[in-house]
Amino acid sequence: MKSKYVSTLFIIFFAVLVLAVPFSVMAANPSELQQQIEQVRREREVLLEEQKKLQAELEVVNKEAQTLGGAVKSLDATRKKLVADISITQSKITSTNLTIRSLENTVTEKEQQIVIHRKAIARTLLALSDYDSQPLILSLLASAQLSDIWGDRSRLEGLSARLEEEVNDLRETRKILNQEKEQKEKVIEEQVSLRGQLSGQKSVVEENQKAKQVLLTETKNKEAEYQKMLAENIARQKESEEDLYRLETELRITLDPSLFPDPRHSVLSWPLDKVYITQRFGKTNSGLYSSNFHNGLDFRASMGTPVKAALSGIVEGTDNTDNQRGCYSYGRWILIRHDNGLTSIYAHLSASLVKKGQRVETGQIIAYSGGTPGSNGAGYSTGPHLHMGLFATQGVEIRQFTTSKGCKQVFLPIASGRDAYLDPLAYLPNF
């Protein structure tokens, strides 16, 4: 019986040994790391307060009348806000670096504990094997007194209990080690995401500077020229919308309602942290649309505002109609096909962080808003904002806009009939 018990413990030991393969990392001082993490956190709080002030100033500026001076002032205020955003993102990257180092310390500590547990188990197993190497009858014959036998039995039970305790401690340490490794992987993923956001924010700053140069050059720093630019943008918007409406009328199909969900609030999440709707879906008398129909939602959003995926899905496509000279449409856009039969579009973006075929999750930052006249990706926009549209997936596809007057070479999402457009507000949280 004793031999079978010890053999079983040997099997447990070797199983644990296989699972506990350590790796070595350069350990840093845990106390110093915590101090650095805390210092970075305090510095970021100061940056966040400054960011709030800049955002408030920017919102005031953006509410001013559409004048050349106001547009330049808005671009300058936007640049200051973007620089603050970049500082905060860099601070977060620093925090993730320190957190990774701290986790590496913990991993190293747990691996060292595993080595200690394994050595203790080995010593205990050797002691147990000494008892197992001699038959019980020989132990009885070699003992002068019966009490010696019972004393050996007591020590054997003590060794067995200690072995069981060490094995349990080893398992628990290994469990914690795996958890720390998983956490480290998540922090690394977060850092990769932050670096992508930082790259996007820097590109928005570049676009902001270019937009200011374009604005001052094309208007010759004259108010009349600026108002002429806005009027031309509105005319281009109507022209583009006419082209799209004509084509969609020709492509009309019958939708199968069973292939997408009925309208219900909170099927989608808001694409912005702060929501202010400037133009709703459906019929409108704003004079901006030749068909008096707006095919999505417009949100107030300063240039460089993070745009989030309204629902998990696959990026069906992303492009920029501004790359085709004479094409005034969505500008930079992203189309996401969701798993429930819905497809969403985000347009007039100053930067995109995703690629075609990429899987995105609800709330993931996919882009930065744009719409500032003169900036690349703004399309026919007359001011900073985000356009979000929603389709029944079966009724939309990315295709070349060959029937357009100015976008013949451009590929963009085209709905197969007006019915393919859905009201985003019917699927977003209660407003």
What average pLDDT does the segment 278-305 reach?
A: 78
Q: Quick check: helix, strand or coil at residue 139?
A: helix
More confident site: 26 or 110: 110
In terms of domains, do 384 and 342 share one?
A: yes
pLDDT in tens, 297-313: 999 999 999 999 999 99
Q: Measured between alpha carbons, how far is residue 380 from residues 39, 73, 191, 301 in Å?
A: 45, 21, 35, 16
335 DSSP β-pair partners: 317, 345
Helices (H), 220-329: 223-250
The Cα–Cα gap between 15 and 329 comes to 63
Total domains in the chain come to 2
The stretch 74-91 carries a mean pLDDT of: 94
Within a domain: 418: yes
Tokens representing residue 294 in the block = 């707006």
**pLDDT tens, position by position, 32-56:** 888 898 999 999 999 999 999 999 9
Query: Do 369 and 244 have their domain in common?
Result: yes
What is the rounded distance in angstroms from the CA atom of residue 290 to the CA atom of residue 305?
29
Same domain assignment for residues 191 and 232: no
* Per-residue pLDDT reduced to its tens digit, 134-174: 554 455 445 545 455 445 556 667 767 777 888 888 888 88
Please name which of 51, 58, 59 lies closest in space to residue 90, comparing C-alpha atoms: 51
Instruction: Output the pTM of the full model.
Output: 0.80
Query: Does residue 96 share a domain with residue 39?
Result: yes
Does residue 164 sit in the same domain as residue 236? no
Q: Are residues 234 and 102 in the same domain?
A: no
Judgement on whether residues 174 and 268 belong to the same structural domain of the protein: no
173 and 232 part of one domain: no
Q: What span, in angstroms and rounded, lies between the C-alpha atoms of 383 and 374?
A: 10
* Position 132 in a domain: yes
Last residue of a domain, one of 152, 175, 195: 195
Q: Which of 320, 299, 309, 313 is nearest to 384 (CA)?
A: 299
Q: How far apart are CA 268 and CA 431, in angstroms?
A: 12
Query: What tokens does 155 get?
Result: 């020590």
Please indicate, yes or no, whether residues 381 and 288 belong to a single structural domain of this protein. yes
Asked, for residue 218, whether it belongs to a domain, the answer is no
Task: Say whether both 173 and 266 belong to one domain.
Answer: no
Q: Which of 2-16, 122-136, 410-424 has the highest mean pLDDT?
A: 410-424
CA dihedral angle for residue 67, residue 70, residue 76, residue 79, rounded to 10 degrees = -80
- Is residue 158 domain-shared with residue 61, that is, in the same domain? yes
Which residues, 6 or more positions from 54, have their beta carbon under 8 angstroms from its beta carbon? Answer: 77, 80, 81, 84
What does the pLDDT average to over 179-196?
93
Are 307 and 374 within one domain? yes
3-state SS, residue 332: strand
**Domain containing residue 38:** 2-195
Q: Which of 305, 270, 302, 293 is nearest to 384 (CA)?
A: 302
Token pair recorded at residue 225: 């020229």
- Taking the C-alpha atoms of residue 20 and residue 111, their distance in angstroms, rounded to an integer, is 8
In this structure, is residue 208 part of a structural domain? no
